[in-house]
Amino acid sequence: MLSCDQVTFTYEEAGRPSIREVNARADRGTLLVVTGKSGCGKTTLSRIINGLVPELYEGRLEGHCLLEGEETTSQPIHLLSRRVGSVFQNPKTQFFTTDVRSELAFPLENMGVDREGIRERLDQVSELFGIGHLLDRSMFALSGGEKQTVAIASSCMADPDLLLLDEPSSNLDVEAIEALRAILDKLKGLGMTMVVIEHRLYYLDGLADDFLILQDGRVVDHLTPSAMRNLDRERREGMGVRALRLDESSKTATPEEEGGPGLDASRSGQEALLRIRNLTYSYRKGEEKALQVDDLTLSSRDITGVIGHNGAGKSTFANLLTGLLKPDHDQTRFTLDGKPQTAKERLADSYMVFQDVNYQLFCETVGKEILLGARRKDLFDEVASRLDLEHLLKRHPNTLSGGEKQRVAIAAAILSGKRLVVLDEPTSGLDLLHMNQVTEMIRYMRSLGVMVVVISHDQEFLEQTCQRFITFREGRPVRDSPELGDLLQAL
């Protein structure tokens, strides 16, 4: 079906090739996984397969990428797109219309299929994906998982020979990933050929037929599923690849802890405690409570992981904790080290690193960015070197990669000198190396005496980072444990 033969590609204006002499094959009805560190060339390979090279990204291509014997890059993209369906990483930015029905119809409308034909196919596809109930909804009103399902459904509308998915799980929560797995399973059962580019591998166990591992643009390994499962940890981590099975990831060799948690607090002198009592919050007066916390104490000694389903109250809790929202009534007490705090004081004393850090970058250079509003300017050199930002200080934040932007946002959080930092899904779309880096940065924050709360769905990351796990369900903390266990069950 698909065969890449000695493919080398150099982007225009790039000094060296992004991928070199890559050979890959995907037979009809099989699922090929392409994995490797960020910047290893996975996405470049995907662009050659779906024709975005040369349509959107120009450069010099050598070798051949053949789909059923035809060169992919030499056909016009509108013809290739009928045969290769593409699904991208970010569910928010890959829909072109504003409602589900139109989004599904979009590829066929472009092809000029008549109305009856579109309607028929739309019925088939919406039944296959179980999205009949979503058809009249606005795209903006869907959850991330639903958006991603619609994106896959839409790329199946033209009945492609090959489906290419570029990190489809990176912005999804655990349950949405389960749903994604079920969809891929179903498509595979129907004989669809798929190429999945991914960091997060556990959900592909049992579905994948082949694993291709790239490093610095070259294929360094080509493994069968059993070889991948038995890959020894050191070698896997050397290639920057995440675990195929989650039970293994908990044993992951994580960056060394600098002393025990007790020693960590030494630099700040002592443990800080934030106690929350009688906290309730409703979005509208008289409506059901969106959040209720009777008595909860957070400590700067533990890195606290907050977990829960979509809509379980995690974000509301974070917004109340940081003072963005005000609680319902005056009986609510927030006390930091015994001193009561108002919402305004909490806002002045806390910081949030968003899932999408693009919204919190304001300046024209990285250096200015991390100093904006900073109270701990004295830490500048130390933070810049620990977060590996020294060579980036003069760059414009928007020219950085996703991982680099996130490091800038975290650096700004540290220099702000605030006592509480909340990180919302800090590892979406990160490879092993960057995930470990985030863990290290969080530990560094703790060593400075900062109280850190992490909202996350990423089991591998949570296990290696947090010492305490609080589960929210229907707006209440229902489980508070030093052990995570199985994330799906912990929800």
What's at 188, amino acid-wise? K
Provide, rounded to whole angstroms, the least separation between the CB of residue 157 and other proteins. Answer: 9
Strand order in the sheet with 273-281: 291-299, 273-281, 333-336, 339-340
Smaller CB separation from other proteins, 91 or 477: 91
Interface with other proteins includes 383 (CB under 8 A)? Answer: no
Separation between Cα atoms, residue 177 and residue 225, nearest integer Å: 19
Within residues 306-325, the interface with other proteins by CB under 8 A covers 322, 324
**Of the ranges 226-234, 252-260, 343-351, 455-463, which one interacts with other proteins (CB under 8 A)?**
343-351
Candidates 19, 33, 61, 95; binder of other proteins (CB under 8 A) is 95
If the CB atoms of residues 114 and 483 are measured against other proteins, the closer one turns out to be: 114
Q: What are the distances in angstroms from CA 139 to CA 22, 57, 91, 112?
A: 37, 28, 10, 23
Distance CA 290, CA 319 (A): 12
Minimum separation from the CB atom of position 139 to other proteins (A): 9
From candidates 38, 73, 149, 155, binder to other proteins by CB under 8 A: 155
Query: Comparing C-alpha atoms, which of 219, 292, 239, 205 is closest to residue 42?
Result: 219
Q: Is 74 in the site for other proteins (CB under 8 A)?
A: no
Instruction: Record the tokens describing residue 101, joined without a space.
Output: 């029905």
Q: Please identify which residue in 192, 201, 213, 412 interacts with other proteins, judged by CB under 8 A.
A: 412
Written as six digits, the tokens of 287 are: 């409506």
Nearer to other proteins, 60 or 78 (CB): 78
CB 442 within 8 A of CB 407: no
Residue placing its CB nearer to other proteins in the complex, 327 or 397: 397
Q: How far is CA 465 from CA 160, 249, 427, 460, 482, in A?
A: 41, 12, 12, 9, 12
Q: Would you say the C-alpha torsion 161, 162, 168, 173 has a positive or negative sign?
A: positive
Query: What 3-state class would DSSP assign to 255?
Result: coil
- How far is residue 470's CA from residue 317's CA, in Å, rounded to a whole number? 11
Q: Is there binding between residue 359 and other proteins (CB under 8 A)?
A: yes
Minimal distance, residue 72 CB to other proteins, in Å: 12
190 binds other proteins (CB under 8 A): no
Say whether 226 sits in a helix, a strand or coil.
helix
Applying CB under 8 A, which of residues 74, 93, 310, 385 lies at the interface with other proteins? 93
In whole angstroms, how far apart are CA 347 and each of 299, 327, 373?
A: 18, 13, 13
How many residues of this chain bind other proteins (CB under 8 A)? 67
CA distance 190 to 307: 35
Cβ–Cβ < 8 Å for 174, 457: yes
Backbone angles phi, psi at 317, to 5 degrees: -60, -45
CB of 422 to other proteins, least distance (A): 10
Kindly state whether residue 401 participates in binding other proteins, applying the rule CB under 8 A: no
Q: Is 472 in the site for other proteins (CB under 8 A)?
A: no
The answer to whether 172 contacts other proteins (rule: CB under 8 A) is: no
Per CB under 8 A, does 14 bind other proteins? no
For 255, other C-beta atoms within 10 Å of its C-beta total 11
Residue with smaller CB distance to other proteins, 95 or 203: 95
112 binds other proteins (CB under 8 A): yes
**Pattern 268-307, other proteins, x by CB under 8 A:** ----------------------------------------
Q: Find residue 277's DSSP bridge partners.
A: 295, 333
362: contact with other proteins by CB under 8 A: yes
In whole angstroms, the minimum distance from the beta carbon of 46 to other proteins comes to 10
Cα-Cα-Cα-Cα torsion 188, 194, 198, 203, nearest 10 degrees, comes to: 0
Looking at 101-109, 251-259, 426-434, 441-449, which segment touches other proteins (CB under 8 A)? 101-109
Instruction: Check residue 55 for interaction with other proteins (CB under 8 A).
Output: yes
77 binds other proteins (CB under 8 A): yes
Pairing of strands 333-336, 273-281: antiparallel
> Is 342 one of the binding residues for other proteins (CB under 8 A)?
no
Question: Contact between 38 and other proteins (CB under 8 A)?
Answer: no
* SS3 of residue 266 by DSSP: helix
377 is a site residue for other proteins (CB under 8 A): no
Is 352 one of the binding residues for other proteins (CB under 8 A)?
yes
Closest Cα partner for 299 from 482, 449, 484? 449
Q: Decide: 468 and 304 in contact? Cβ < 8 Å.
A: yes
Q: Please report, as ranges, the residues that interact with other proteins according to CB under 8 A.
A: 50-52, 55-56, 76-78, 81-82, 84-86, 88, 90, 92-99, 101-102, 105-115, 118-119, 122, 138, 140, 151, 154-155, 158, 322, 324, 347-348, 350-352, 354, 356, 358-363, 372-373, 397-398, 412, 416, 418
